[in-house]
Amino acid sequence: MRSLSDKVALVIGGSRGIGAAVSRRMAADGASVAIVYLSRSQEAEDFGKELQSQGTKVFLAQADVSDQRALSEAIDKVAEHFGRLDILVNVAGVAIVGPLDDYAEDAFDRTFALNVRAPFVASKKAAALMQEGGRIITIGSIVADRMPSYGGTLYAASKAALGGMTRGLARDLGERGITANLVQPGPIDTERNPADGPNAAANRGPLAIPRHGTSDEVASLVAYLASEDAAFVTGSTYNIDGGWSS
């Protein structure tokens, strides 16, 4: 028996980058996997077929999760398809960065709709579907704790909000045996932040381990928090940042 056999995991933003690594790890550990994605449909469908070819039960739903109604409907489709939900991993996010004076008037609303409201709505909706032993895991960012350069005010503020949300969820859901935890990655080698990109050297500057992390390393931490081994871990924030915050 693999550690997540008979479990259903929903990964919001699960078709690319860290989200794809989490989806692969959930599948490798035996879970059925539901993936909500925004765009690049062919890429998402190909990824779903990849997981299915390895024996994983997969369900794909396309939605703009910054739209509360679209997100709610996508989760309803997952519940209808699988009949249950055991693990929620909130990955989807946006980074609107730049000089403070250059932020568009709607930058705050767009940032918080995707980075804060979406994981809250998903967590609330998922918790109503979960039985004892449910898991809610949100991917934040280490900039919630330390912003080393200019241009990230809104992004840092939105990611900082996830710590309070996670602690609140832990209190609200603890009596039901549902845990809620937050994972804060540092620089991770993804399409958005490649290890050989123009900002890579600056991103590695604050690190104790002078390299970008990998999506698989983040997924391994998520896998632990989703497992039975983490049944007494809740309301916690885990930094996986190569020493960024040390």
Supply angle C-alpha 84, 238, 200, rounded to 5. 110
Q: What is the mean pLDDT of residues 112-130?
A: 97
Count of domains for the chain: 1
- Asked if the structure places residue 245 within a domain, the reply is no
DSSP string, 166-201: HHHHHHHHGGGT-EEEEEEE-SB-SSSS-TTSTTHH
Residue-level pLDDT at 1: 54
Q: Give the tens place of pLDDT for each residue, 133-169.
A: 999 999 999 999 988 888 899 999 999 999 999 999 9
Strand order in the sheet with 179-185: 58-62, 32-37, 8-12, 87-90, 135-139, 179-185, 236-240
Query: Do residues 117 and 93 lie in contact, with contact meaning Cβ atoms separated by under 8 Å?
Result: no
Query: Do residues 207 and 186 lie in contact, with contact meaning Cβ atoms separated by under 8 Å?
Result: yes
Q: Give the tens place of pLDDT for each residue, 164-182.
A: 999 999 999 999 999 999 9
Question: Which residues participate in catalysis according to the annotation?
Answer: 155
- Asked if the structure places residue 186 within a domain, the reply is yes
Q: Any alpha helices (H) in the chain, and if so which ranges? A: 17-28, 41-53, 68-82, 107-112, 118-129, 153-173, 200-204, 215-226
Supply angle C-alpha 178, 182, 184, rounded to 5. 165
CB atoms within 10 A of CB 105: 6
Percent of the chain whose predicted confidence (pLDDT) is above 90: 86
Residue-level pLDDT at 3: 87
Residue-level pLDDT at 198: 87
- Asked if the structure places residue 2 within a domain, the reply is no
- Asked if the structure places residue 44 within a domain, the reply is yes
Q: Give the tens place of pLDDT for each residue, 191-230.
A: 888 888 888 888 888 899 999 999 999 999 999 999 999 9
Structure tokens at 225: 């928090």
- Asked if the structure places residue 1 within a domain, the reply is no
Percent of the chain whose predicted confidence (pLDDT) is above 70: 100
Kindly indicate the confidence band of residue 120, based on its pLDDT and cuts at 50, 70 and 90: very high
CATH number at residue 34: 3.40.50.720
Q: What is the mean pLDDT of residues 109-133?
A: 97
pTM, entire model: 0.96
Helix and strand tally (H, E) in the chain? 8, 7
Sequence-ordered list of residues with C-beta below 8 angstroms from that of 132, at least 6 positions apart, any chain: 176, 177, 178
- Asked if the structure places residue 193 within a domain, the reply is yes
Q: Give the tens place of pLDDT for each residue, 35-94.
A: 999 999 999 999 999 999 999 999 999 999 999 999 999 999 999 999 999 999 999 999
- Asked if the structure places residue 153 within a domain, the reply is yes
- Asked if the structure places residue 32 within a domain, the reply is yes
Residue ranges making up the domain that contains 214: 8-240
